[in-house]
Chains A and B, each alone.
Chain A
């Protein structure tokens, strides 16, 4: 148990569907992140939030839309995805951005399959 919980664990969706991934952390952290993990590729940072403000968007297509309503919750809204978007989506949190001696805690991920 890392303190970062992601739901659902598995999701199958059609290309015309709209779905959302949820991430929740009870660690009192101020920064939250979305990562994409595809087969045979390094983890790709998608979005970064600090104190509920988006601070980074790594050229992610608009079919991915993040939302951070408070410092404990992070969502990733999905619509009109492509099969190549199938991957493991990982949420992480850390105490703050730009601080030494902090570390990232990862959730277990949502395995997304786009059909």
Chain B
């Protein structure tokens, strides 16, 4: 069975500082990997996804993530955060059979990002 671990429940970063949110997954083969963001009272918005190819993927809002097979990780990064980045961030893994369809997605518990002025 696939699983996702986001070890940090809360992260506080100063505005303008760099950000890295950690995600580790457990899956028997190469998974499909996703990062979603959820602003307060809102649904989930896809930031970026990895299916194959270049292990460094670019997403929306200046985010990027790197797939590291040897570490079973897919950490999310941003070089300089903005106050509007404060939100809940979810890492998810999907199997190549189910792709990114929501039936096959396993989500982590999320990381709450707080931005200090």
Binding site for B on A (CB under 8 A): 2, 4, 6, 9, 31, 33, 35, 40-43, 45, 48, 55-56, 90, 92-109, 111
Q: Are B103 and A103 in contact (CB under 8 A)?
A: no
CB contacts (< 8 Å) of A56 on chain B: these are 103
In Å, the complex CA distance between A48 and B104 comes to: 10
CB contacts (< 8 Å) of A41 on chain B: these are 109
CB contacts (< 8 Å) of A40 on chain B: these are 109
Contact of A31 among B36, B43, B90, B103 (CB under 8 A): B103
Cβ of B14 within 8 Å of any chain A Cβ, yes or no, is no
CB contacts (< 8 Å) of A97 on chain B: these are 98, 101, 103
Question: With A92-B102, A97-B101 in contact, is A103–B34 under 8 Å at CB?
Answer: yes
In Å, the complex CA distance between A101 and B98 comes to: 9
Interface size on B, residues (CB 8 A): 28
Cβ of B105 within 8 Å of any chain A Cβ, yes or no, is yes
Contact of A102 among B41, B43, B90, B101 (CB under 8 A): B101
Number of A-B contacts (CB under 8 A): 85
Nearest residue, chain A, Cβ from B110: A42
Nearest residue, chain B, Cβ from A93: B102
Q: Are A106 and B44 in contact (CB under 8 A)?
A: yes
CB contacts (< 8 Å) of B42 on chain A: these are 108-109
Contact of B103 among A33, A90, A108 (CB under 8 A): A33
CB contacts (< 8 Å) of B45 on chain A: these are 2, 106
Q: Are A99 and B99 in contact (CB under 8 A)?
A: yes
Q: Are B101 and A107 in contact (CB under 8 A)?
A: no
Contact of B105 among A100, A104, A107, A108 (CB under 8 A): A104
Q: Are B43 and A48 in contact (CB under 8 A)?
A: no
Cβ of B63 within 8 Å of any chain A Cβ, yes or no, is no
Contact of B43 among A45, A100, A106 (CB under 8 A): A106
> 27 A–B contact pairs at CB < 8 A?
A2-B45, A4-B43, A6-B43, A9-B41, A31-B101, A31-B103, A33-B103, A35-B102, A42-B4, A42-B109, A45-B105, A56-B103, A90-B43, A92-B44, A93-B102, A94-B99, A94-B101, A95-B101, A100-B51, A100-B96, A102-B99, A104-B102, A106-B36, A106-B45, A107-B43, A109-B42, A109-B43
